[in-house]
């Protein structure tokens, strides 16, 4: 079961509502009677994976505690075009004031979950794990990585604090100081100890072999075509996990998976996912 911490939900919702409502909804408060009641359905305009129902519930609860959101399907369920997935009922003013924030979050997270599910399906039966990256919307990383999990993919590190990754710029700066790849890995291991995973980005087969020999836990094979990936996996020879990354699309991912890598990381899961078309239809 994929979950989001309640404090994360409330913090994002509070910020989003303050941004949208500000000092008050001029349109709604000016014309909608305070006594008016309304009911509406969230309807998928296109097929996709339902993701973000806890956010929808939190938005309307924050606007008006009398509003009731009733999910019609479970989080993570595939929904068809035209399918109603939740209802909201209660004071019409609150429903209208929460509508856009609820839809923005619901559409964004469902879009990410849907794209993640497509990538996972593309490598079905290969044993490869699809990972996200840190290419997320500032302030929404926890939500977007949650949506990746709901879509069936896995999370890479959450931030700079929970894993070592020596990328090209780290290695370039170290090289300018006379510190090579093997020494960089040894320095990282000495700094973080044995319990923290060390990943290293490489761009050729020789560097992959060197990183494996130096004790890297994961070797990121950056922007390599499938033949290079196969050679790099052979050079690593089981001494480390391998991860392919860089410009991988739904059209190319199956060939990448066939190279024998353990992981494929796809920044597009979060930085390029299209918001799913979801409507809120008042009954």
List, as residue ranges, the binding site for substrate.
100, 133-135, 157, 167, 201, 222, 245-247, 266-268
Q: Given the residues 135, 197, 239, 254, select the one marked as catalytic.
A: 135
**Catalytic residue status for 167:** yes
Tell me how far apart the terminal alpha carbons of the chain are, to the nearest angstrom.
32
**Catalytic residue status for 199:** no
Q: Given the residues 201, 210, 217, 243, select the one marked as catalytic.
A: 201
**Catalytic residue status for 145:** no
What DSSP assignment string belongs to 208-227? Answer: HHHHHHHT-SEEEEET--HH
Q: Given the residues 45, 167, 187, 274, select the one marked as catalytic.
A: 167
Number of Cα atoms under 13 Å in the Cβ half of residue 178: 0
Name every residue whose Cβ is closer than 8 Å to that of residue 175 and which is 6 or more positions away in sequence: none
Q: Given the residues 20, 46, 64, 100, select the one marked as catalytic.
A: 100
- CB neighbour class for 96 (10 Å; exposed up to 12, middle 13-18, buried from 19): buried
Task: Evaluate whether 164 touches 186 at the Cβ level (below 8 Å).
Answer: no
* Binding site residue list: 100, 133-135, 157, 167, 201, 222, 245-247, 266-268
Q: How far is Cα 201 from Cα 203, in angstroms, rounded to an integer?
A: 7
Q: How far is Cα 196 from Cα 203, in angstroms, rounded to an integer?
A: 23
- Catalytic machinery residues: 100, 135, 167, 201, 222
């Amino acid at each position: 079961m994929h979950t989001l911490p309640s404090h994360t939900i409330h913090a994002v919702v509070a910020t989003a509502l303050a941004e949208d409502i500000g000092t008050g909804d001029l349109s709604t408060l000016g014309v909608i009677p305070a006594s008016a009641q309304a009911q509406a359905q969230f309807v998928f305009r296109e097929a996709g994976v339902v993701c973000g129902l806890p956010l929808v519930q939190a938005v309307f609860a924050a606007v008006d505690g009398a509003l009731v959101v009733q999910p019609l399907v479970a989080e993570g369920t595939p929904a068809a075009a035209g399918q109603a997935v939740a209802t909201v009922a209660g004071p019409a003013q609150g429903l209208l004031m929460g509508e856009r924030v609820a839809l923005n979050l619901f559409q964004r997270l469902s879009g990410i979950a849907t794209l993640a599910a497509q990538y996972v399906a593309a490598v079905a039966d290969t044993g490869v794990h699809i990972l996200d990256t840190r290419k997320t919307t500032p302030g929404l990383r926890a939500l977007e990585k949650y949506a990746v999990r709901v879509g069936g993919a896995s999370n890479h590190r959450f931030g700079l604090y929970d894993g070592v990754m020596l990328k090209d710029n780290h290695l370039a700066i170290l090289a300018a100081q006379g510190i090579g790849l093997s020494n960089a890995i040894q320095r990282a291991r000495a700094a973080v100890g044995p319990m923290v995973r060390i990943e290293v980005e490489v761009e050729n087969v020789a560097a992959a072999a060197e990183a494996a020999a130096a004790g890297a836990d994961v070797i990121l094979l950056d922007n390599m075509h499938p033949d290079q990936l196969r050679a790099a996996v052979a050079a690593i020879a089981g001494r480390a996990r391998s991860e392919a990354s860089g410009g991988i699309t739904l059209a190319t991912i199956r060939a990448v998976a066939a190279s024998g890598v353990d992981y494929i990381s796809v920044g597009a899961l979060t930085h390029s996912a299209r918001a799913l078309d979801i409507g809120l239809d008042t009954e």
